[in-house]
Structure 1
Amino acid sequence: MKLVLLSGGSGKRLWPLSNGRQAKQFLKLLSDENGHLHSMLQRIWRQLSKANLTDSTIITAGKMQVDLVRDQLGFNVNCLIEPSCRDTFPSIALSTAYLYSCQEGDRNEVIVVLPVDSYVEDKFYEELKKIDRVINTSGADIALVGVNPSHLSTKYGYIVPEKEQTKNNYLRVLGFEEKPTPLRASELINVGALWNSGVFAFKTGYILDILEQMDLPTEYEDLNRKYRKLPNISFDYQVVEKARNIVVVKYEGFWKDLGTWDDLTEEINPNIMGLGKMSKDSINTHIINQLDIPILVLGVSNLVVIASPDGVLVTDKVASVRLKEQIEELKSREM
């Protein structure tokens, strides 16, 4: 079994700290067990190391990100450079071709793809070791990891599985629903739907067959040269939604996607990073200041206040999910 850790994105929902120069996965905002700050990438790598999975893991990264990966993890990590910034399908396709043609892979070898912004317990990565057997015993094209919902959420995608569980601890997938309304999310949870963790597993040959059907090369060097010809589309849309035989493994532990300031600040301690001060009646508010001028917050709650050389953000935490669209509008106005 091989693992691919997707670390090539930019994370516009965490502007202004996450940008073209330093993406969200490299921001040292989380605390380790010793109270030292580390990044999402460093946290996941340590967890993979505890599970003895780093030797079988490659990390995808853009050309401008490779030095950051090696600076945070060391020069011995197996880092695959993406020729250009694309969506997840091109990245996963190139990674599969690399593992197959450059790492002496086998068409029957299972590849597990991981997002870099998952915040989970260590046992999550121990559970991943079971996916190899699930793929082989189920005969599925793709296996997913679904998280048992701890609360009603409209921010996550839902996996709708069959009700009857097999003796092999996986469920057949009936369908998907992306970011439902509160009412629909409640209905989905009541019928046993699971949060989509963004973890995919498949046999190498399954993706190679898809590339051949698209008249694309399966050898790494050839595919690398034709990278721009790959459709700039997510793996979910290009592969998962077209697959006929999908199973899901249910995960019962803690899981969170650190894709927005609302979610990320729940795991950031202390509430003030950098030069700042807030009044005692400013509840559930975070200040992150990278400038040498002070920030003072008085009498307001549930805010994220961030100042950096690239911009200043003041947002209600719940509203932070709308940040990406606002940033794209700013760019369209060339501000």
Structure 2
Amino acid sequence: MLLAGGSGSRLWPLSRRKCPKQFISLFDLTLFQQSYRRARLHSEPEEIVVVTGSEYEFLVRNQIEALAEEVIPGRILLEPCGRNTLPAIAWGMHQFLDEPDVPVVIYPTDHLIGEGMAETVAGAAPLSLEWLVTFGVVPDRPHTGYGYISPGDPVQNGFAVAAFREKPDTEAAERYIAEGSLWNAGIFLMTPRIFFEECRRYAPSIAEADLPAAYRDLPSLSVDYGLLEHSRRVAVVPLTVSWSDLGTFSALHDASGPDQNGNVGDALTIDSSGCTFIHPEGKRVAAVGVSDIVVVDSDDALLICRRDATERVREVVAMLTAEHDQTVEEHRLVHRPWGTYLTLEESRFFKIKRITVKPGASLSLQQHHHRSEHWVVVSGCARVQIDGDHRMLPQGESTFVRSGAVHRLENPGRIPLEMIEVQIGEYLAEDDIVRFEDQYGR
């Protein structure tokens, strides 16, 4: 089971509400794609369930397909609203009830996990036949941003959990580490039978809910608070693989392999150390005489902060959210089920986009009341429908879509279709759209 919700607000401006950190390319593969690859080490595609928000459906589908994997119908569960991890896991566990004694591993998809996790899971499988198993990271420093797990008596290759600890201050974190406590990694292994037995005992409203129909009515509960902290059948297995929740830019810095001066990123540095530089490809960045700072430059936002203050980025997001700032919602590069569009320039009465349509994909049959559109094919070949008239538009040709025309754009070819779209009108927002047909069910 892959849990693919969450907003990743502390990684703004890289992470946005409509494209959170698990779906952005921090490394060669996104964190979600890494998680899916990890799941495939011990599961067939039909044995994998993804629980995610309804707004992320096509991000999930596109990223699985980009791995040359088949999307199995019915294995992507779309939450109508966020209800935290316990309801999400319960809904996912319902999909495995035909094999109630087969262990299910539950991965968050926004963590960076090193090689060897599949072997660790396999080693813990016998323990999960009697216990709800969680995995704990051996701390390398007192960290105040993680919860802690105190191991008790040994059981097989793990320990019975003596206590779960809240996120502590530094003094308490040092004490927990001295006592042998582990960081709570948020990775679980359990059988449907034991999960629902314990859930009926400690969270009956969730265990007995008619899912997904009653999902909106469920309380918002984490699996830790709602179940594991109450159950006496919880065991912890220490993780021997590398792990990071990549919750802040400081964590991303540590996971990215700093150079000999402790710097991360493509920048010309002079007398600078301990810095992180993230910026668009092709931009020249130089840093002189600075240390321990984070600079994150995107197309539409710039973040500068000290590395020891990266936890406070969420305060920036809260302020921007209160101002209804669009940079919290999405990037200038926006993902759609048919491909992507990038806003190149915009003013009050015009907007210029670069549109990329995947091979075989099609935009909806649609209409705009307040804007006209001019399309120019940059590469590939487009099939265009305007008020019932169909025509092919090869590279270098253009067409005009007047306001009110019913139109559709398709890519019938085998290579991506690249278009430049110029919108002109007095209202250019994305909600000026009436859909008549849509192959993606929107």
Q: TM-score range by the shorter chain?
A: 0.7 to 0.9
1:41 corresponds to 2:38: no
Q: Structure 2: which amino acid aligns with 1:121? A: G
1-side partners of 2:241 and 2:103: how far apart?
Answer: 24
1:331 alignment partner in structure 2: 321
Q: CA deviation at 1:43?
A: 2.1
Distance 1:268 1:177, change over 3 A: same
| Structure 2: runs of 5+ lacking an equivalent | 259-263, 326-442
**Which of 115, 126, 131 is the matching residue for 1:133?**
126
Q: Structure 2: which amino acid aligns with 1:24? A: K
1-side partners of 2:134 and 2:290: how far apart?
Answer: 41
**Which of 117, 140, 159 is the matching residue for 1:150?**
140
Tell me, what secondary structure is at the counterpart of 2:316? helix
Deviations 1:138-192 (CA, angstroms, capped at 9, x unpaired)? x33x211112222332222111011x434x1111111011222222222212221
Q: CA deviation at 1:287?
A: 2.2
**Which of 157, 160, 182 is the matching residue for 1:169?**
157
1:228 alignment partner in structure 2: 216
TM (norm. structure 1) is 0.83
2-side partners of 1:319 and 1:246: how far apart?
Answer: 35
How do residues 23-38 of structure 1 correspond to structure 2 at under 5 angstroms?
A: 23-30=20-27, 37-38=28-29
1:19 alignment partner in structure 2: 16
Q: Which has the larger radius of gyration?
A: 2
Q: CA deviation at 1:217?
A: 7.1
Q: CA deviation at 1:242?
A: 1.8
State whether residues 97 and 218 of structure 1, in contact with CA within 8 Å, keep that contact through their aligned partners in structure 2: no
2-side partners of 1:155 and 1:305: how far apart?
Answer: 22
Q: Kindly, what percent of the aligned residue pairs are identical?
A: 30
2:102 alignment partner in structure 1: 109
Q: CA deviation at 1:310?
A: 4.9
1-side partners of 2:282 and 2:83: how far apart?
Answer: 35
Give the count of matched residue pairs.
311
2-side partners of 1:93 and 1:69: how far apart?
Answer: 20
2:305 alignment partner in structure 1: 315
Structure 1 or 2: larger strand share?
Answer: 2
2:70 alignment partner in structure 1: 76
**Which of 108, 114, 119 is the matching residue for 2:112?**
119
1-side partners of 2:224 and 2:106: how far apart?
Answer: 12
State whether residues 90 and 207 of structure 2, in contact with CA within 8 Å, keep that contact through their aligned partners in structure 1: no
**Which of 92, 111, 127 is the matching residue for 2:89?**
92
Q: Structure 1: which amino acid aligns with 2:18? A: R
201-210 or 109-118, larger mean C-alpha shift: 201-210
1:200 corresponds to 2:188: yes
Q: CA deviation at 1:92?
A: 1.1
Q: Structure 2: which amino acid aligns with 1:53? A: S
Tell me, what secondary structure is at the counterpart of 1:225? coil
1-side partners of 2:32 and 2:173: how far apart?
Answer: 30
RMSD: 2.6
Distance 1:40 1:149, change over 3 A: same
1:272 corresponds to 2:269: no
2-side partners of 1:121 and 1:289: how far apart?
Answer: 26
Deviations 1:107-154 (CA, angstroms, capped at 9, x unpaired)? 333322111133222112211113321022xx33x2111122223322
Tell me, what secondary structure is at the counterpart of 1:180? coil
TM (norm. structure 2) is 0.64
State whether residues 282 and 300 of structure 1, in contact with CA within 8 Å, keep that contact through their aligned partners in structure 2: yes
Tell me, what secondary structure is at the counterpart of 2:235? strand
State whether residues 145 and 251 of structure 1, in contact with CA within 8 Å, keep that contact through their aligned partners in structure 2: yes
| Structure 1: runs of 5+ lacking an equivalent | 31-36
Distance 1:255 1:180, change over 3 A: same
1:9 corresponds to 2:6: yes
Q: Which has the higher contact order (CA 8 A, sep 6+)?
A: 1
85-94 or 53-62, larger mean C-alpha shift: 53-62
2-side partners of 1:39 and 1:269: how far apart?
Answer: 17
1:33 alignment partner in structure 2: none
Q: CA deviation at 1:199?
A: 1.1
2-side partners of 1:333 and 1:54: how far apart?
Answer: 45
State whether residues 304 and 316 of structure 1, in contact with CA within 8 Å, keep that contact through their aligned partners in structure 2: yes
1:251 corresponds to 2:251: no
Q: CA deviation at 1:293?
A: 6.9
Tell me, what secondary structure is at the counterpart of 1:13? helix
Structure 1 or 2: larger helix share?
Answer: 1
State whether residues 45 and 54 of structure 1, in contact with CA within 8 Å, keep that contact through their aligned partners in structure 2: no
1:281 corresponds to 2:278: no
1-side partners of 2:240 and 2:282: how far apart?
Answer: 44
State whether residues 17 and 310 of structure 1, in contact with CA within 8 Å, keep that contact through their aligned partners in structure 2: no
1:186 alignment partner in structure 2: 174
